[in-house]
Amino acid sequence: MNDLAAKKIAVIGGGSFGTALVKIFVANQGHCNWWMHNEESAKHLMQFHHNPRYLSSVSFDPENISVFTEVTEAVKQADIVVFAIPSAFVKSVLLELAPGALDGKIVCSAIKGIIPDENMIVGEYLREVMGVSENKIVVITGPCHAEEIA
């Protein structure tokens, strides 16, 4: 079995890009942890099998996703953590994590822009502030829209 196939993935973000990434990871890995800030959206997703606010035409089998509204739980159970939240909220979401919560994990940023008041790109912030090893940081970048990859 491929080493990567055995890894547990968590997507942090319930927007359109997070939704598209969860769809891709489920199709390729079979399961994905998914943190959504909005509790009502998380409940809707589990009941009706789609994100009510973003890419609502994409449906999910609830057997293939674990939905969390506590970011610490989604991260704790993952080997790979993919952040797909607006850059303006990176600091507040990361503050919810205990020190060392990202230790040993592969951390991926699918975030465009810089962190407000820090003038840092997300990868730099993860390394310098959160202590994530440089060789554990992955960045998804480039011009694309969630609708194109979903």
Structure tokens at 94: 């990361």
Tokens 């959206």 locate to 41
Alpha-carbon span 84 to 65, nearest angstrom: 16
What are the structural domains, with CATH classification, of the chain?
4-149 (3.40.50.720)
Q: What is the mean pLDDT of the chain?
A: 91
Q: What residues form DSSP beta bridges with 106?
A: 80
Q: Write the pLDDT tens digit of every residue in 38-96.
A: 999 999 999 999 999 999 999 999 999 999 999 999 999 999 999 999 999 999 999 99
Residue 143 DSSP label: S
pTM, entire model: 0.92
CB 12 within 8 A of CB 82: yes
pLDDT band at residue 143 under the 50/70/90 scheme: low
